[in-house]
Amino acid sequence: MSYLQKNDRKIYNLIEQEKRRQLTTIRLIPSENYVSQAVLEAVGSVLTNKYSEGYAKRRYYQGQSIIDEIEELSKSRAERLFEMPHANVQPYSGSPANLACYLALLKPGDTIMGMTLTSGGHLTHGSSVSYTGKLFKVVPYTVSKETGRLDFDEIRAIAKKEKPKLIIAGFTAYPRKVSFSSFQKIAKEVGAFLHADISHIAGLVAAGVHPSPAGLADTVVATTHKTLRGPRGALILSKKMYAKSIDKAVFPGLQGGPHNNTTAAIGVALKEASRADFRKYAEQIIKNAKTLAEGLTKKGFTLATGGTDNHLVLADVSTRDITGKEAAIALEKAGIIVNYNTIPFDERPPMDPSGIRLGSPAVTTIGMKEAEMKLIVKWISEVLNNHNRESKLRKIGKEVAAFMKNYQYY
**Catalytic hit among 111, 124, 142, 223:** 223
69 is catalytic: no
**Catalytic hit among 51, 92, 407, 409:** 51
Tell me how far apart the alpha carbons of residues 296 and 279 are, in angstroms, rounded to a whole number.
26
In 3D space, the residue among 107, 111, 143, 106 whose CA is nearest the CA of residue 126 turns out to be: 111
392 is catalytic: no
51 is catalytic: yes
**Helices 276-298, 370-385: crossing angle, 10 deg rounding:** 40
**Catalytic hit among 27, 77, 226, 357:** 226
C-alpha distances out from residue 166 to 118, 134, 239, Å: 20, 15, 15
Tell me how far apart the alpha carbons of residues 271 and 107 are, in angstroms, rounded to a whole number.
36
**Catalytic hit among 41, 53, 332, 370:** 53
Parallel, antiparallel, or unpaired for β 336-337 and 26-27? parallel
User: Could you tell me which residues come within 8 angstroms of residue 200 by beta carbon, excluding any fewer than 6 positions away?
Assistant: 30, 31, 171, 172, 223, 226, 227, 310, 311, 312
**Catalytic hit among 71, 197, 247, 382:** 197
Q: What angle do CA 318, 176, 130 make, to 5 degrees?
A: 75
DSSP 112-157: EEEE-GGGT--GGGT-TTSTHHHHSEEEEE-B-TTTSSB-HHHHHH
223 is catalytic: yes
Tell me how far apart the alpha carbons of residues 394 and 214 are, in angstroms, rounded to a whole number.
48
User: What is the signed CA dihedral for 266, 336, 313, 320, rounded to 10 degrees?
Assistant: -160
Q: HSE on the CB side for 37, CA within 13 Å?
A: 3
CB 231 within 8 A of CB 224: yes
Strand partners, 169: 196
346 is catalytic: no
- Residue type at 268? V
Catalytic site positions: 51, 53, 197, 223, 226, 232
